[in-house]
A and B are shown apart, each in its own frame.
Chain A
Amino acid sequence: MTRLRVVLSATEPALRTASAELWSRPGLAQRYPRYLHAMHGVLRASVPLMERAALRCAELESRDPCAGRLRRYLETHSAEERDHDAWLLEDLAALGGDPAAVIEDQPCAAVARLVGPQYYWIEHHHPAALLGYIAVLEGNAPHIGLAAWIAGAAEVPESAVRTVREHAELDTAHTEEIHRLLDDLALTEGQVRAVTVSALCTAQALIGLFDHLVRTTPGRTAAHRTPTHLGARV
């Protein structure tokens, strides 16, 4: 869908800059565990969102030409993404954090603002909206080499950057896959708008989440990491 590619390309400078700030501002050693904690709140919703959207597609299949193909994509992709939230908990554990505490904590408002609209649109509008969310998140995955950079800058072990490393490798292919799907689906004009608005809201909220993590991290240097910040609340 050329329209979405063009719109997303206009969001790229702001998204790239927001994530660059996340990694380059002072205090990465304190911020990285909080990033993992926040992203756990995002990733734990990925498979449930796709499963719910697939069920909604099944309901629509008899009267919506795109619903069957979309359902099959969501079912396949949810199997590929299953348990990736557990990687984040393992990364946090490698930093000395407590995975049980992460699961128990209420995800922060910035995470809810990012993920929450998808539940609403899947439930009350059309499950195709989720494709805008997926396209933005997969399209702004960690760059190749970022995991090694974090390990050095934040002075954390390689075992604590698995999620960043694996997603840098996986998500390039996933991004191409979702754009091919959008090219092939016979979406109506209304569905195209739903995907576009969803993508823009996702980009806006993602920038908000990265900004929140930067703003609320004490300004310290990487060398000043202290165990009390590991697994800290976001």
Chain B
Amino acid sequence: MTDHRYTASELEDMGFPLSSLTPEQLEVLRDLTAEEAALLLDIKARMDHVAPEVQAHTEIAGAALF
């Protein structure tokens, strides 16, 4: 989809867990634009600041309304 394609090693360096990705997921991530990758990394980074007890209780979740 874009001229640039991320290598597996670049994605790994960004923090994507390659071992748990399906080939289809890997293909999509390799195809991200720089803007899409930056947005996704910003969202993923949010997990670094969350207390373990909250991560353990995500069954009480969902809050978006449209």
Interface residues of A (CB under 8 A from B): 2-3, 6-7, 9-11, 13-25, 35, 39, 42-43, 46, 81, 84, 88, 133-134, 136-143, 146, 149, 163, 167-168, 171, 174, 189, 192-193, 196-197, 200-201, 203-204, 206-207, 210
Can you name 15 A-B pairs with beta carbons within 8 Å? Answer: A6-B25, A6-B28, A7-B40, A10-B29, A10-B44, A11-B43, A14-B43, A17-B47, A22-B63, A140-B63, A142-B65, A167-B65, A171-B66, A193-B33, A203-B43
Tally B residues with Cβ within 8 Å of A.
31
Chain B positions 14 through 39: 1 when the CB is less than 8 Å from some CB of chain A, otherwise 0: 00100000001100110111011001
**Residues on A with beta carbons closer than 8 Å to the beta carbon of B16:** 10
In this assembly, does B58 line the interface, its C-beta being within 8 Å of a C-beta of chain A? yes
Interface residues of B (CB under 8 A from A): 1, 16, 24-25, 28-29, 31-33, 35-36, 39-40, 42-44, 46-47, 50, 54-55, 57-66
Shortest CB-to-CB span from A129 to chain B, Å, is 13
Shortest CB-to-CB span from A111 to chain B, Å, is 11
**Residues on B with beta carbons closer than 8 Å to the beta carbon of A134:** 66
Of the candidates A16, A81, A192, the one whose C-beta lies within 8 Å of that of B66 is A81
Of the candidates A19, A84, A88, the one whose C-beta lies within 8 Å of that of B63 is A19
| Cβ contact within 8 Å between A200 and B40 | yes
- Interface centre among B16, B61, B62, by most chain A C-beta atoms within 10 angstroms, is B62
| Cβ contact within 8 Å between A20 and B57 | yes
Closest 6 A/B residue pairs (Cβ): A137-B66, A200-B39, A140-B64, A19-B63, A6-B28, A143-B62
| Cβ contact within 8 Å between A200 and B43 | yes
Whole-angstrom CA separation of A127 from B39 in the bound complex: 21
Q: Nearest chain-A residue to B56 (Cβ)? A: A20
| Cβ contact within 8 Å between B46 and A35 | no
- Interface centre among B1, B46, B60, by most chain A C-beta atoms within 10 angstroms, is B60
**Residues on A with beta carbons closer than 8 Å to the beta carbon of B63:** 19, 22-23, 35, 140, 142, 210
| Cβ contact within 8 Å between B60 and A20 | yes
Q: Contacts A17-B55, A19-B61, A192-B1: A3 and B66 contacting too (C-beta < 8 A)?
A: no
Whole-angstrom CA separation of A131 from B33 in the bound complex: 19
Whole-angstrom CA separation of A134 from B43 in the bound complex: 18
Q: Contacts A17-B58, A203-B43: A2 and B28 contacting too (C-beta < 8 A)?
A: yes
| Cβ contact within 8 Å between B24 and A20 | no
| Cβ contact within 8 Å between B33 and A143 | no
Shortest CB-to-CB span from B59 to chain A, Å, is 7
List 10 additional contacts besides A6-B25, A22-B63; criterion CB under 8 Å.
A3-B31, A17-B55, A23-B63, A43-B66, A136-B64, A137-B65, A139-B64, A141-B65, A168-B62, A197-B39
Whole-angstrom CA separation of A138 from B54 in the bound complex: 23
Whole-angstrom CA separation of A204 from B40 in the bound complex: 8
